[in-house]
Amino acid sequence: MEPVRQHQAAFRIAGLTVRTTNREEMNPATARLGALWGRFFGEKIAESTPGRTGDERIFGAYSAYESDAHGAFDVTAGVAVSGEAGSLAIEAGDYLVFTGQGEMPQMVIATWQRIWQYFEAHPEIARSYRSDFEAYEGPDKVAIHIGVS
């Protein structure tokens, strides 16, 4: 399934953040994302975050890229908020949107594998490595937005 190109307006999210790499996430001994999401749901961050907007989706935002898919980056599990204090800006711009549906977390992993394969097969399309985000519309549905130049 081909991604859809969309222009995204800027917005902000707040939640919990970890710094990791794709290499660390491939090894269960060093992976951090499972624990991040465990804390997010366990501590009921979505319900307790002040300044939430009407957007009910849960977000996984990728930011502060060291370089590219091989370098370190931050991941924030959060919700859309109206205030700036303690929040992360998702940049306005063009995004390729890849969708996935199925059982977690395999579905998200498979969608990311499709994304990496897509960019390997389309070197003429450059990722911006500024803001990328997963938008969860339910427990088994995601739209992953990849910033492009």
Secondary structure of the chain as H, E, C letters: CCCEEEEECCEEEEEEEEEECHHHHCCCCCCCHHHHHHHHHHCCHHHHCCCECCCCCEEEEEECCCCCCCCCEEEEEEEEECCCCCCEEECCEEEEEEEEECCCCHHHHHHHHHHHHHHHHCCCCCEEEEEEEEEEEECCEEEEEEEEC
pLDDT average, residue stretch 122-133 = 96
Q: Which two tokens stand for residue 16?
A: 């919990």
In whole angstroms, what is the distance from residue 115 CA to residue 112 CA? 5
Q: Is the pLDDT of residue 140 over 90?
A: yes
Mean pLDDT of all residues belonging to the chain: 96
| CATH topology classification for 4-148 | Multidrug-efflux Transporter 1 Regulator Bmrr; Chain A (3.20.80)
pLDDT average, residue stretch 15-36 = 96
Q: Is the pLDDT of residue 41 over 80?
A: yes
Strand 4-8 with 93-101, pairing:
antiparallel
pLDDT average, residue stretch 43-52 = 96
- Give the pLDDT confidence of 77-116 residue by residue, as tens digits: 999 999 888 999 999 999 999 999 999 989 999 999 999 9
Look at residue 85 in the predicted model and tell me its pLDDT: 86
Q: Which two tokens stand for residue 48?
A: 């307790």
Look at residue 1 in the predicted model and tell me its pLDDT: 77
